[in-house]
Amino acid sequence: MGNYDIKVLLAFGKAIDGRKDFFKWLLDNGYPELAALSNAIRGDEDALKWLLDNGFPELAILSNAMDNEPNAIQWLINSKNEMLFQFSLACRGDEDAVKWFQIKQLPVFIYLAEKINKLLKLQAKENTFWYKIKF
The predicted-structure confidence for 109-123, as pLDDT tens digits, reads as follows: 999 999 999 999 988
Say what the alpha-carbon torsion angle 6, 10, 63, 120 is, to the nearest 10 degrees: 140
**pLDDT per position as a tens digit, 54-84:** 999 999 999 999 999 999 999 999 999 999 9
Q: How far apart are CA 132 and CA 11, in angstroms?
A: 30
Percent of the chain at pLDDT above 70? Answer: 93
Stated pTM of the model: 0.89
Q: How far apart are CA 46 and CA 30, in angstroms?
A: 19
Which residues 6+ apart lie within 8 Å of 79 measured at CB? 58, 85
Residue 100 pLDDT greater than 60, yes or no: yes
C-alpha distances out from residue 69 to 14, 62, 129, 130, Å: 25, 10, 22, 23
